Chains A and B, each alone.
Chain A
Amino acid sequence: MEETLLKIREVRKRFGGVYAVNGVNLDVKKGGICGLVGPNGSGKTTLFNTILGLHKPDQGTIHFNNNCINNLAPHQIYKLGLGNAFQIPRLFFQMSVLDNMLVAVRGHQGDKLANSLFLREKWQEQEKGMVEEALSILELVELDKLAFSPAGELSGGQRKLLEVARGLMAGSSLLLLDEPAAGINPVLGKSIFQKLRDLSRNGTTFFVVEHRLEILFEFASWIYVMDKGKTVAQGEPQQIVKEPAFYEAYLGEG
Protein backbone atom coordinates (compact mmCIF):
# COMPACT_ATOMS: atom_id res chain seq x y z
CA MET A 1 0.00 0.00 0.00
CA GLU A 2 1.13 3.50 -0.73
CA GLU A 3 2.29 5.57 2.20
CA THR A 4 0.01 8.34 3.45
CA LEU A 5 1.87 11.61 3.92
CA LEU A 6 -1.00 13.79 5.07
CA LYS A 7 -4.01 12.41 6.87
CA ILE A 8 -6.94 14.71 7.74
CA ARG A 9 -9.89 13.50 9.78
CA GLU A 10 -13.08 15.40 10.61
CA VAL A 11 -11.37 18.78 10.59
CA ARG A 12 -13.58 21.78 11.30
CA LYS A 13 -12.69 25.44 11.44
CA ARG A 14 -15.18 28.12 12.38
CA PHE A 15 -15.01 31.89 11.91
CA GLY A 16 -17.53 33.44 14.27
CA GLY A 17 -20.60 31.27 13.86
CA VAL A 18 -19.81 30.07 10.36
CA TYR A 19 -17.90 26.91 9.56
CA ALA A 20 -15.45 27.64 6.74
CA VAL A 21 -14.19 24.06 6.99
CA ASN A 22 -16.87 21.70 8.17
CA GLY A 23 -15.77 18.08 8.24
CA VAL A 24 -12.88 17.42 5.92
CA ASN A 25 -11.51 13.91 5.51
CA LEU A 26 -8.71 13.22 3.12
CA ASP A 27 -5.42 11.42 2.57
CA VAL A 28 -2.57 12.68 0.46
CA LYS A 29 -0.44 9.75 -0.65
CA LYS A 30 3.27 10.04 -1.03
CA GLY A 31 4.43 10.99 -4.53
CA GLY A 32 2.70 12.77 -7.36
CA ILE A 33 0.32 15.69 -7.51
CA CYS A 34 -2.93 15.60 -5.55
CA GLY A 35 -5.53 18.18 -6.53
CA LEU A 36 -8.14 19.98 -4.44
CA VAL A 37 -10.97 21.69 -6.27
CA GLY A 38 -14.21 23.34 -5.33
CA PRO A 39 -16.12 26.58 -5.88
CA ASN A 40 -15.02 29.89 -4.39
CA GLY A 41 -15.63 30.05 -0.68
CA SER A 42 -15.78 26.27 -0.28
CA GLY A 43 -12.99 26.44 2.31
CA LYS A 44 -9.91 25.32 0.39
CA THR A 45 -7.67 28.17 1.51
CA THR A 46 -8.92 27.89 5.08
CA LEU A 47 -8.13 24.18 5.03
CA PHE A 48 -4.59 24.91 3.81
CA ASN A 49 -4.04 27.56 6.47
CA THR A 50 -5.27 25.09 9.09
CA ILE A 51 -2.82 22.44 7.89
CA LEU A 52 -0.01 25.01 8.05
CA GLY A 53 -0.82 25.85 11.66
CA LEU A 54 -1.90 29.41 10.85
CA HIS A 55 -5.36 28.50 12.16
CA LYS A 56 -5.97 26.03 14.97
CA PRO A 57 -8.62 23.49 13.98
CA ASP A 58 -11.70 23.59 16.21
CA GLN A 59 -12.11 19.85 15.78
CA GLY A 60 -10.44 16.91 14.13
CA THR A 61 -6.89 15.73 13.61
CA ILE A 62 -4.16 16.41 11.10
CA HIS A 63 -1.28 13.98 10.75
CA PHE A 64 1.81 14.66 8.67
CA ASN A 65 4.29 11.82 8.28
CA ASN A 66 2.49 10.08 11.16
CA ASN A 67 3.03 13.05 13.49
CA CYS A 68 0.00 14.85 14.85
CA ILE A 69 0.57 18.49 13.90
CA ASN A 70 -2.65 20.00 15.28
CA ASN A 71 -0.93 21.82 18.08
CA LEU A 72 2.35 22.75 16.47
CA ALA A 73 3.33 26.30 15.57
CA PRO A 74 3.68 27.08 11.84
CA HIS A 75 7.46 27.29 12.04
CA GLN A 76 7.64 23.83 13.58
CA ILE A 77 5.39 22.39 10.89
CA TYR A 78 7.56 23.97 8.21
CA LYS A 79 10.65 22.41 9.73
CA LEU A 80 9.02 18.98 9.51
CA GLY A 81 9.06 19.38 5.73
CA LEU A 82 5.66 20.86 4.97
CA GLY A 83 5.95 23.93 2.74
CA ASN A 84 3.46 26.20 1.07
CA ALA A 85 2.79 28.97 -1.41
CA PHE A 86 -0.03 31.36 -0.51
CA GLN A 87 -2.95 32.10 -2.81
CA ILE A 88 -2.34 35.83 -2.37
CA PRO A 89 1.43 36.31 -2.44
CA ARG A 90 2.96 37.25 0.90
CA LEU A 91 6.38 38.44 -0.18
CA PHE A 92 8.98 40.44 1.69
CA PHE A 93 8.56 43.46 -0.50
CA GLN A 94 11.59 45.50 0.46
CA MET A 95 13.89 42.53 0.07
CA SER A 96 15.38 41.36 -3.19
CA VAL A 97 13.82 38.53 -5.17
CA LEU A 98 16.83 36.36 -4.33
CA ASP A 99 16.66 37.16 -0.61
CA ASN A 100 12.98 36.21 -0.66
CA MET A 101 14.06 32.81 -1.96
CA LEU A 102 16.85 32.43 0.57
CA VAL A 103 14.62 33.16 3.56
CA ALA A 104 12.87 29.87 2.75
CA VAL A 105 15.98 27.72 3.22
CA ARG A 106 15.61 25.09 5.94
CA GLY A 107 18.47 24.76 8.38
CA HIS A 108 20.71 27.55 7.12
CA GLN A 109 23.60 27.54 9.62
CA GLY A 110 23.85 31.32 9.64
CA ASP A 111 20.23 31.74 10.61
CA LYS A 112 21.13 31.31 14.30
CA LEU A 113 22.34 34.32 16.24
CA ALA A 114 25.67 32.92 17.40
CA ASN A 115 26.41 31.14 14.12
CA SER A 116 25.72 34.24 12.08
CA LEU A 117 28.62 35.90 13.91
CA PHE A 118 31.01 33.06 14.64
CA LEU A 119 30.52 30.47 11.90
CA ARG A 120 30.75 32.87 9.00
CA GLU A 121 33.13 30.83 6.87
CA LYS A 122 30.91 27.81 7.17
CA TRP A 123 27.58 29.33 6.24
CA GLN A 124 29.08 31.57 3.57
CA GLU A 125 30.27 28.39 1.88
CA GLN A 126 26.94 26.63 2.46
CA GLU A 127 25.06 29.54 0.95
CA LYS A 128 26.74 29.27 -2.44
CA GLY A 129 24.83 26.09 -3.21
CA MET A 130 21.60 27.65 -1.99
CA VAL A 131 22.03 30.67 -4.23
CA GLU A 132 22.60 28.39 -7.19
CA GLU A 133 19.46 26.43 -6.40
CA ALA A 134 17.48 29.64 -6.00
CA LEU A 135 18.68 31.00 -9.33
CA SER A 136 17.80 27.80 -11.17
CA ILE A 137 14.25 27.90 -9.77
CA LEU A 138 14.00 31.60 -10.63
CA GLU A 139 15.07 30.77 -14.17
CA LEU A 140 12.18 28.36 -14.45
CA VAL A 141 9.70 31.13 -13.64
CA GLU A 142 11.63 33.66 -15.72
CA LEU A 143 12.60 35.82 -12.76
CA ASP A 144 16.34 35.16 -12.69
CA LYS A 145 17.12 38.46 -14.41
CA LEU A 146 15.32 40.25 -11.58
CA ALA A 147 17.16 38.41 -8.78
CA PHE A 148 18.47 41.62 -7.23
CA SER A 149 15.35 43.74 -7.69
CA PRO A 150 13.16 44.37 -4.68
CA ALA A 151 10.17 42.02 -4.69
CA GLY A 152 7.95 45.10 -4.35
CA GLU A 153 8.85 46.12 -7.90
CA LEU A 154 7.42 42.96 -9.46
CA SER A 155 4.15 42.92 -11.40
CA GLY A 156 1.15 41.01 -10.04
CA GLY A 157 1.88 37.92 -12.15
CA GLN A 158 5.56 37.97 -11.24
CA ARG A 159 4.70 38.18 -7.56
CA LYS A 160 2.62 35.06 -7.89
CA LEU A 161 5.49 33.32 -9.66
CA LEU A 162 7.91 34.32 -6.92
CA GLU A 163 5.52 33.02 -4.28
CA VAL A 164 5.44 29.65 -6.03
CA ALA A 165 9.20 29.71 -6.64
CA ARG A 166 9.84 30.39 -2.96
CA GLY A 167 7.67 27.40 -2.10
CA LEU A 168 9.76 25.21 -4.40
CA MET A 169 12.96 26.51 -2.86
CA ALA A 170 13.16 24.63 0.35
CA GLY A 171 12.91 21.02 -0.76
CA SER A 172 9.73 20.31 1.20
CA SER A 173 8.52 16.74 1.25
CA LEU A 174 4.94 18.02 0.96
CA LEU A 175 4.19 21.33 -0.70
CA LEU A 176 0.76 22.99 -0.53
CA LEU A 177 0.19 25.26 -3.50
CA ASP A 178 -2.88 27.49 -3.47
CA GLU A 179 -3.79 28.29 -7.09
CA PRO A 180 -0.23 28.40 -8.45
CA ALA A 181 -1.33 29.12 -12.02
CA ALA A 182 -3.85 31.85 -11.20
CA GLY A 183 -3.06 35.11 -12.97
CA ILE A 184 -0.16 33.61 -14.89
CA ASN A 185 -0.10 33.14 -18.65
CA PRO A 186 -1.29 29.62 -19.58
CA VAL A 187 1.96 28.54 -21.22
CA LEU A 188 3.98 29.39 -18.12
CA GLY A 189 1.26 27.89 -15.94
CA LYS A 190 1.60 24.63 -17.78
CA SER A 191 5.37 24.64 -17.58
CA ILE A 192 5.12 25.13 -13.82
CA PHE A 193 2.99 22.00 -13.59
CA GLN A 194 5.50 20.14 -15.76
CA LYS A 195 8.17 21.17 -13.28
CA LEU A 196 6.00 19.99 -10.41
CA ARG A 197 5.67 16.62 -12.12
CA ASP A 198 9.45 16.39 -12.54
CA LEU A 199 9.99 17.28 -8.90
CA SER A 200 7.36 14.81 -7.78
CA ARG A 201 9.35 12.04 -9.43
CA ASN A 202 12.26 13.04 -7.17
CA GLY A 203 10.21 12.58 -4.03
CA THR A 204 8.30 15.82 -3.46
CA THR A 205 4.55 15.47 -3.05
CA PHE A 206 2.24 18.28 -4.11
CA PHE A 207 -1.20 19.14 -2.81
CA VAL A 208 -2.57 21.75 -5.17
CA VAL A 209 -5.66 23.94 -5.28
CA GLU A 210 -6.24 25.00 -8.86
CA HIS A 211 -9.14 26.55 -10.71
CA ARG A 212 -7.70 25.81 -14.11
CA LEU A 213 -9.06 22.31 -14.19
CA GLU A 214 -7.77 21.53 -17.69
CA ILE A 215 -4.18 21.95 -16.48
CA LEU A 216 -4.71 20.32 -13.10
CA PHE A 217 -6.47 17.26 -14.49
CA GLU A 218 -3.66 16.68 -16.95
CA PHE A 219 -1.05 16.43 -14.22
CA ALA A 220 -2.81 15.33 -11.03
CA SER A 221 -3.14 11.68 -10.09
CA TRP A 222 -5.94 12.14 -7.54
CA ILE A 223 -8.57 14.83 -7.01
CA TYR A 224 -10.57 15.85 -3.96
CA VAL A 225 -13.67 17.98 -4.33
CA MET A 226 -14.74 20.38 -1.59
CA ASP A 227 -18.10 22.04 -1.26
CA LYS A 228 -19.39 24.18 1.62
CA GLY A 229 -16.47 23.20 3.81
CA LYS A 230 -16.77 19.44 3.25
CA THR A 231 -14.95 16.94 1.09
CA VAL A 232 -17.73 15.64 -1.13
CA ALA A 233 -15.99 13.49 -3.74
CA GLN A 234 -12.65 12.04 -4.70
CA GLY A 235 -11.16 10.06 -7.54
CA GLU A 236 -8.86 10.01 -10.52
CA PRO A 237 -9.29 13.00 -12.80
CA GLN A 238 -11.03 10.94 -15.54
CA GLN A 239 -13.43 9.47 -12.99
CA ILE A 240 -14.13 12.62 -11.01
CA VAL A 241 -15.63 14.42 -13.98
CA LYS A 242 -18.31 11.75 -14.07
CA GLU A 243 -19.22 12.17 -10.40
CA PRO A 244 -22.54 13.92 -9.77
CA ALA A 245 -21.09 15.51 -6.61
CA PHE A 246 -18.46 17.24 -8.71
CA TYR A 247 -21.13 18.87 -10.88
CA GLU A 248 -23.29 19.71 -7.94
CA ALA A 249 -20.41 21.45 -6.20
CA TYR A 250 -19.76 23.64 -9.19
CA LEU A 251 -23.25 24.01 -10.60
CA GLY A 252 -25.47 23.18 -7.64
CA GLU A 253 -26.15 26.76 -6.73
CA GLY A 254 -26.34 27.74 -10.35
Chain B
Amino acid sequence: MDPLLYVFDVVVYVGIFGMLALSLNLEFGFTGLANFGKVAFFLIGAYTYGLLSQIGIPFYVCLIAGASISAAFGFLISLPALRLRADYLAIVVLTFGEILRLIVKNEDWIAGGDWGISVSRAISLAGASPRVNALVNIGLVYLCLGICFFVLQLLANSPYGRTMRAIREDEIAAEALGKDRAKYKAQVFMLGSAVAGVAGGLYAQYLQCVLPGMFMPMVTFTVWMMVLLGGPANNKGVLLGAVLVEIFDRGANIAKDYLTLPVDPANLQYILFGVLIILVLFYRPQGLLKESPVTTKALELVRNDRSAVKSNGKQ
Protein backbone atom coordinates (compact mmCIF):
# COMPACT_ATOMS: atom_id res chain seq x y z
CA MET B 1 0.00 0.00 0.00
CA ASP B 2 0.95 3.62 -0.53
CA PRO B 3 3.06 4.47 2.56
CA LEU B 4 1.76 8.03 2.58
CA LEU B 5 -1.72 6.65 3.20
CA TYR B 6 -0.48 5.16 6.47
CA VAL B 7 0.60 8.61 7.57
CA PHE B 8 -2.71 10.14 6.49
CA ASP B 9 -4.50 7.39 8.38
CA VAL B 10 -2.66 8.25 11.58
CA VAL B 11 -3.42 11.93 11.05
CA VAL B 12 -7.16 11.24 10.71
CA TYR B 13 -7.14 9.02 13.81
CA VAL B 14 -5.34 11.71 15.79
CA GLY B 15 -8.04 14.19 14.76
CA ILE B 16 -10.99 11.96 15.65
CA PHE B 17 -9.52 10.68 18.90
CA GLY B 18 -8.28 14.18 19.69
CA MET B 19 -11.93 15.24 19.77
CA LEU B 20 -12.73 12.38 22.14
CA ALA B 21 -9.80 13.40 24.33
CA LEU B 22 -11.02 17.02 24.40
CA SER B 23 -14.46 15.84 25.39
CA LEU B 24 -13.17 13.65 28.21
CA ASN B 25 -10.93 16.49 29.30
CA LEU B 26 -13.96 18.75 29.60
CA GLU B 27 -15.68 16.20 31.81
CA PHE B 28 -12.83 14.71 33.79
CA GLY B 29 -9.91 17.12 33.44
CA PHE B 30 -11.86 20.27 34.19
CA THR B 31 -14.97 19.12 36.03
CA GLY B 32 -13.79 15.92 37.71
CA LEU B 33 -16.51 13.71 36.21
CA ALA B 34 -14.93 10.31 35.60
CA ASN B 35 -16.69 9.18 32.43
CA PHE B 36 -15.70 5.56 31.84
CA GLY B 37 -18.30 5.22 29.12
CA LYS B 38 -16.94 7.63 26.54
CA VAL B 39 -17.31 5.01 23.85
CA ALA B 40 -21.11 5.00 24.34
CA PHE B 41 -21.41 8.53 23.03
CA PHE B 42 -18.94 7.83 20.24
CA LEU B 43 -21.17 4.89 19.27
CA ILE B 44 -24.35 6.97 19.36
CA GLY B 45 -22.79 9.56 17.06
CA ALA B 46 -21.54 6.91 14.67
CA TYR B 47 -24.80 4.96 14.44
CA THR B 48 -26.85 8.13 14.12
CA TYR B 49 -24.62 9.22 11.29
CA GLY B 50 -24.73 5.81 9.62
CA LEU B 51 -28.50 5.40 9.80
CA LEU B 52 -29.34 8.94 8.73
CA SER B 53 -26.85 9.06 5.88
CA GLN B 54 -28.36 5.85 4.51
CA ILE B 55 -31.62 7.66 3.88
CA GLY B 56 -29.83 10.42 2.04
CA ILE B 57 -29.57 13.13 4.68
CA PRO B 58 -26.65 15.54 4.11
CA PHE B 59 -23.53 14.79 6.13
CA TYR B 60 -23.50 17.96 8.22
CA VAL B 61 -27.08 17.33 9.34
CA CYS B 62 -26.07 13.77 10.24
CA LEU B 63 -23.18 15.11 12.31
CA ILE B 64 -25.37 17.63 14.11
CA ALA B 65 -28.05 15.00 14.73
CA GLY B 66 -25.41 12.65 16.15
CA ALA B 67 -24.18 15.42 18.44
CA SER B 68 -27.72 16.23 19.59
CA ILE B 69 -28.81 12.67 20.30
CA SER B 70 -25.54 12.00 22.06
CA ALA B 71 -26.03 15.15 24.14
CA ALA B 72 -29.52 13.98 25.10
CA PHE B 73 -28.07 10.70 26.35
CA GLY B 74 -25.36 12.69 28.12
CA PHE B 75 -28.08 14.55 29.96
CA LEU B 76 -29.75 11.29 31.00
CA ILE B 77 -26.46 9.92 32.29
CA SER B 78 -25.86 13.08 34.30
CA LEU B 79 -28.98 12.39 36.36
CA PRO B 80 -27.53 9.43 38.29
CA ALA B 81 -24.24 11.35 38.35
CA LEU B 82 -25.84 13.73 40.82
CA ARG B 83 -27.01 11.02 43.15
CA LEU B 84 -24.24 8.45 42.91
CA ARG B 85 -20.76 8.53 44.33
CA ALA B 86 -18.03 8.93 41.73
CA ASP B 87 -17.04 5.27 41.73
CA TYR B 88 -20.62 4.07 41.26
CA LEU B 89 -21.09 6.54 38.47
CA ALA B 90 -18.02 5.11 36.74
CA ILE B 91 -19.59 1.66 36.80
CA VAL B 92 -22.97 2.92 35.59
CA VAL B 93 -21.48 4.71 32.62
CA LEU B 94 -19.12 1.87 31.75
CA THR B 95 -22.06 -0.51 31.74
CA PHE B 96 -24.12 1.87 29.65
CA GLY B 97 -21.52 1.72 26.87
CA GLU B 98 -21.45 -2.07 26.89
CA ILE B 99 -25.24 -2.32 26.90
CA LEU B 100 -25.52 -0.04 23.88
CA ARG B 101 -22.93 -2.11 22.04
CA LEU B 102 -24.73 -5.35 22.87
CA ILE B 103 -28.03 -3.87 21.71
CA VAL B 104 -26.75 -2.87 18.28
CA LYS B 105 -24.92 -6.18 18.07
CA ASN B 106 -27.93 -8.35 18.84
CA GLU B 107 -30.80 -6.35 17.39
CA ASP B 108 -30.21 -6.87 13.68
CA TRP B 109 -33.08 -4.63 12.64
CA ILE B 110 -31.34 -1.51 13.99
CA ALA B 111 -28.20 -1.52 11.92
CA GLY B 112 -27.36 -4.97 10.65
CA GLY B 113 -26.24 -6.47 13.95
CA ASP B 114 -22.74 -7.90 13.89
CA TRP B 115 -22.36 -7.16 10.19
CA GLY B 116 -23.10 -3.51 10.67
CA ILE B 117 -24.03 -1.20 7.83
CA SER B 118 -21.95 0.56 5.25
CA VAL B 119 -21.72 4.32 5.31
CA SER B 120 -20.95 6.60 2.42
CA ARG B 121 -18.24 9.24 2.56
CA ALA B 122 -19.25 12.68 3.76
CA ILE B 123 -17.65 14.29 0.76
CA SER B 124 -17.04 12.09 -2.26
CA LEU B 125 -15.30 13.52 -5.25
CA ALA B 126 -15.81 11.70 -8.54
CA GLY B 127 -12.73 9.79 -9.59
CA ALA B 128 -10.61 11.05 -6.68
CA SER B 129 -7.49 9.11 -5.80
CA PRO B 130 -7.17 7.52 -2.33
CA ARG B 131 -4.71 10.25 -1.40
CA VAL B 132 -7.15 13.00 -2.29
CA ASN B 133 -9.91 11.23 -0.42
CA ALA B 134 -7.67 10.96 2.63
CA LEU B 135 -6.83 14.66 2.40
CA VAL B 136 -10.51 15.58 2.18
CA ASN B 137 -11.11 13.53 5.29
CA ILE B 138 -8.24 15.24 7.06
CA GLY B 139 -9.70 18.62 6.14
CA LEU B 140 -13.15 17.72 7.44
CA VAL B 141 -11.90 16.13 10.66
CA TYR B 142 -9.52 18.96 11.50
CA LEU B 143 -12.16 21.57 10.78
CA CYS B 144 -14.40 19.90 13.37
CA LEU B 145 -11.49 19.42 15.76
CA GLY B 146 -10.54 23.08 15.37
CA ILE B 147 -14.06 24.26 16.17
CA CYS B 148 -14.25 22.00 19.24
CA PHE B 149 -10.85 23.11 20.46
CA PHE B 150 -11.73 26.77 20.00
CA VAL B 151 -15.04 26.51 21.85
CA LEU B 152 -13.60 24.43 24.68
CA GLN B 153 -10.71 26.86 25.11
CA LEU B 154 -13.16 29.75 25.39
CA LEU B 155 -15.10 27.79 27.97
CA ALA B 156 -12.02 26.85 29.99
CA ASN B 157 -10.91 30.48 30.10
CA SER B 158 -14.09 31.97 31.43
CA PRO B 159 -15.91 32.21 34.75
CA TYR B 160 -17.71 29.06 33.64
CA GLY B 161 -14.35 27.30 33.38
CA ARG B 162 -13.52 28.55 36.85
CA THR B 163 -16.71 27.04 38.20
CA MET B 164 -16.00 23.72 36.48
CA ARG B 165 -12.64 23.54 38.23
CA ALA B 166 -14.17 24.56 41.55
CA ILE B 167 -16.67 21.69 41.26
CA ARG B 168 -13.80 19.32 40.54
CA GLU B 169 -11.82 20.55 43.55
CA ASP B 170 -14.61 20.62 46.14
CA GLU B 171 -18.18 20.41 44.97
CA ILE B 172 -19.66 21.09 48.40
CA ALA B 173 -17.68 24.30 48.73
CA ALA B 174 -18.70 25.25 45.18
CA GLU B 175 -22.34 24.60 46.04
CA ALA B 176 -22.01 26.71 49.19
CA LEU B 177 -20.66 29.50 46.95
CA GLY B 178 -23.79 29.56 44.86
CA LYS B 179 -22.96 27.04 42.15
CA ASP B 180 -25.79 24.76 41.12
CA ARG B 181 -23.56 21.75 40.66
CA ALA B 182 -26.35 19.61 39.23
CA LYS B 183 -26.86 22.10 36.43
CA TYR B 184 -23.16 22.45 35.66
CA LYS B 185 -22.61 18.70 35.61
CA ALA B 186 -25.57 18.15 33.31
CA GLN B 187 -24.35 20.82 30.92
CA VAL B 188 -20.81 19.50 30.92
CA PHE B 189 -22.01 15.95 30.25
CA MET B 190 -24.19 17.19 27.41
CA LEU B 191 -21.45 19.22 25.79
CA GLY B 192 -18.86 16.47 26.23
CA SER B 193 -21.23 13.92 24.75
CA ALA B 194 -22.04 16.18 21.80
CA VAL B 195 -18.34 16.44 20.95
CA ALA B 196 -17.97 12.66 21.22
CA GLY B 197 -21.04 12.29 18.99
CA VAL B 198 -19.47 14.39 16.24
CA ALA B 199 -16.29 12.35 16.53
CA GLY B 200 -18.39 9.19 16.13
CA GLY B 201 -20.03 10.50 12.98
CA LEU B 202 -16.66 11.38 11.49
CA TYR B 203 -15.34 7.95 12.38
CA ALA B 204 -18.28 6.19 10.70
CA GLN B 205 -17.88 8.08 7.46
CA TYR B 206 -14.08 7.67 7.49
CA LEU B 207 -14.22 3.90 7.88
CA GLN B 208 -17.35 3.84 5.68
CA CYS B 209 -19.08 1.46 8.03
CA VAL B 210 -20.42 1.07 11.55
CA LEU B 211 -19.90 -2.24 13.33
CA PRO B 212 -20.37 -3.11 17.01
CA GLY B 213 -16.72 -4.21 17.06
CA MET B 214 -15.59 -0.62 16.54
CA PHE B 215 -16.93 0.33 19.95
CA MET B 216 -15.21 -1.95 22.42
CA PRO B 217 -14.47 -0.60 25.96
CA MET B 218 -10.84 -0.33 24.81
CA VAL B 219 -11.81 2.86 22.98
CA THR B 220 -12.67 4.50 26.28
CA PHE B 221 -9.39 3.44 27.83
CA THR B 222 -7.43 4.72 24.86
CA VAL B 223 -9.04 8.13 25.35
CA TRP B 224 -8.31 8.04 29.09
CA MET B 225 -4.72 7.25 28.26
CA MET B 226 -4.54 10.35 26.05
CA VAL B 227 -5.93 12.59 28.77
CA LEU B 228 -3.81 11.19 31.59
CA LEU B 229 -0.66 11.19 29.51
CA GLY B 230 -1.13 14.62 27.95
CA GLY B 231 -2.28 16.44 31.07
CA PRO B 232 -5.81 16.74 32.48
CA ALA B 233 -7.29 20.26 32.37
CA ASN B 234 -4.99 21.23 29.53
CA ASN B 235 -6.60 21.07 26.10
CA LYS B 236 -3.28 21.29 24.27
CA GLY B 237 -1.88 18.62 26.54
CA VAL B 238 -4.61 16.11 25.74
CA LEU B 239 -4.15 16.73 22.02
CA LEU B 240 -0.47 15.97 22.51
CA GLY B 241 -1.58 12.85 24.34
CA ALA B 242 -3.78 11.96 21.36
CA VAL B 243 -0.84 12.32 18.98
CA LEU B 244 1.44 10.14 21.10
CA VAL B 245 -1.10 7.43 21.83
CA GLU B 246 -2.28 7.26 18.23
CA ILE B 247 1.22 7.02 16.83
CA PHE B 248 1.77 4.20 19.26
CA ASP B 249 -1.58 2.55 18.57
CA ARG B 250 -1.74 2.91 14.79
CA GLY B 251 1.98 2.25 14.64
CA ALA B 252 1.48 -1.10 16.29
CA ASN B 253 -1.40 -1.88 13.93
CA ILE B 254 0.69 -1.03 10.91
CA ALA B 255 3.72 -2.83 12.27
CA LYS B 256 1.78 -6.03 12.48
CA ASP B 257 1.34 -5.93 8.68
CA TYR B 258 5.08 -6.08 8.35
CA LEU B 259 6.50 -7.79 11.41
CA THR B 260 6.24 -11.36 12.52
CA LEU B 261 6.24 -11.42 16.29
CA PRO B 262 5.92 -14.40 18.60
CA VAL B 263 2.88 -12.72 20.26
CA ASP B 264 -0.19 -11.08 18.78
CA PRO B 265 0.74 -7.39 18.46
CA ALA B 266 -2.78 -6.37 19.50
CA ASN B 267 -2.34 -8.12 22.86
CA LEU B 268 1.16 -6.77 23.25
CA GLN B 269 -0.27 -3.31 22.70
CA TYR B 270 -2.80 -3.73 25.54
CA ILE B 271 -0.01 -4.79 27.86
CA LEU B 272 2.12 -1.82 26.86
CA PHE B 273 -0.84 0.53 27.35
CA GLY B 274 -1.34 -0.78 30.86
CA VAL B 275 2.32 -0.35 31.70
CA LEU B 276 2.34 3.14 30.23
CA ILE B 277 -0.67 4.25 32.31
CA ILE B 278 0.98 2.95 35.48
CA LEU B 279 4.23 4.73 34.64
CA VAL B 280 2.47 8.02 33.93
CA LEU B 281 0.44 7.87 37.13
CA PHE B 282 3.57 7.09 39.13
CA TYR B 283 6.09 9.45 37.67
CA ARG B 284 4.06 12.27 36.18
CA PRO B 285 0.59 12.32 37.74
CA GLN B 286 -0.11 15.77 36.30
CA GLY B 287 0.60 14.52 32.74
CA LEU B 288 3.14 15.86 30.25
CA LEU B 289 1.71 19.39 30.29
CA LYS B 290 0.40 20.71 33.57
CA GLU B 291 -3.03 22.24 34.11
CA SER B 292 -3.47 25.53 32.30
CA PRO B 293 -4.84 28.17 34.68
CA VAL B 294 -7.93 30.24 33.87
CA THR B 295 -6.92 33.16 31.67
CA THR B 296 -9.16 36.17 31.24
CA LYS B 297 -8.46 39.77 30.23
CA ALA B 298 -8.87 41.07 33.76
CA LEU B 299 -6.39 38.51 35.13
CA GLU B 300 -3.94 39.26 32.32
CA LEU B 301 -4.06 42.97 33.14
CA VAL B 302 -3.05 42.32 36.75
CA ARG B 303 -0.32 39.92 35.69
CA ASN B 304 1.11 42.42 33.22
CA ASP B 305 0.97 45.26 35.75
CA ARG B 306 2.83 43.12 38.25
CA SER B 307 5.56 42.07 35.87
CA ALA B 308 5.93 45.74 34.80
CA VAL B 309 6.32 46.80 38.42
CA LYS B 310 8.84 44.04 38.99
CA SER B 311 11.00 44.95 36.02
CA ASN B 312 10.83 48.66 36.92
CA GLY B 313 11.89 47.80 40.44
CA LYS B 314 14.99 46.08 39.13
CA GLN B 315 16.16 49.04 37.07
Contacts and interface: CB of A to CB of B under 8 A. Distances in A.
Interface in B5-60: none
A93 B166 CA distance: 9
Interface in B295-315: 296-299, 301-303
Interface stretch (A32-40, A96-104, A198-206): A96-104
B170 A92 contact: yes
B177 A103 contact: yes
A123 interface: yes
A86 to B, nearest CB: 7
B298 A131 contact: yes
A148 B303 contact: yes
B159 A92 contact: no
B170 A95 contact: no
Given A95-B169, A110-B159, A117-B151, A74 B296 contact: no
Contacts of A123: 158-159
Contacts of A108: 159
B107 interface: no
B236 interface: no
Nearest to A107: B178
B165 A92 contact: yes
A124 B155 contact: no
Contact of A79 (B151, B154, B178): B178
A54 B181 CA distance: 13
Given A54-B172, A127-B297, A135 B302 contact: yes
Which size bracket describes the interface of B in this complex?
Answer: 35 or more
B161 interface: yes
Interface in A76-123: 78-79, 84, 86, 90-96, 98-99, 102-106, 108-113, 115-117, 120, 123
Is chain A's binding surface mostly helix, strand, loop or mixed? helix
B175 interface: yes
A20 B140 CA distance: 61
A91 B155 contact: no
Interface in B143-185: 151, 154-155, 158-163, 165-166, 169-170, 172-181
A103 B176 contact: no
A113 B160 contact: yes
Contacts of B162: 95, 99, 102-103, 111
B98 interface: no
A240 interface: no
A73 to B, nearest CB: 7
Nearest to A85: B176
Contacts of B180: 73, 75
Contacts of A166: 177
Interface size class of A (residues with CB under 8 A): 35 or more
Contact of B166 (A74, A78, A92): A92
Given A75-B178, A91-B173, A130-B298, A111 B165 contact: no
A128 B301 contact: yes
Nearest to A102: B162
Nearest to A110: B159
A116 B158 contact: yes
A124 B296 CA distance: 7
A245 interface: no
Nearest to B175: A74
A96 B293 contact: yes
Given A105-B159, A111-B160, A92 B173 contact: yes
B161 A124 contact: no
Contacts of A26: none
Contacts of B120: none
Interface string A155-176: 0000000000010001000000
A91 B173 CA distance: 7
A78 B178 contact: yes
B167 to A, nearest CB: 9
Interface string B241-256: 0000000000000000
Contact of A120 (B158, B172, B177): B158
B160 A112 contact: yes
Residue of A113, A117, A170 with most chain B CB atoms under a 10 A cut-off: A113
A123 B178 CA distance: 18
A14 B208 CA distance: 61
Nearest to A113: B187
Given A92-B169, A92-B174, 13 more contacts: A75-B179, A78-B177, A78-B178, A79-B178, A86-B173, A91-B170, A91-B173, A92-B173, A103-B162, A106-B178, A115-B160, A128-B298, A131-B298
20 contacts: A54-B172, A73-B180, A75-B175, A75-B177, A84-B176, A91-B173, A92-B165, A92-B173, A92-B174, A98-B299, A98-B302, A99-B293, A99-B294, A103-B166, A103-B174, A110-B158, A113-B160, A113-B187, A128-B298, A135-B302
Interface of B: 151, 154-155, 158-163, 165-166, 169-170, 172-181, 187, 191, 291, 293-294, 296-299, 301-303
* Interface pairs A-B: 4 shortest CB-CB: A116-B160, A78-B178, A116-B158, A92-B169
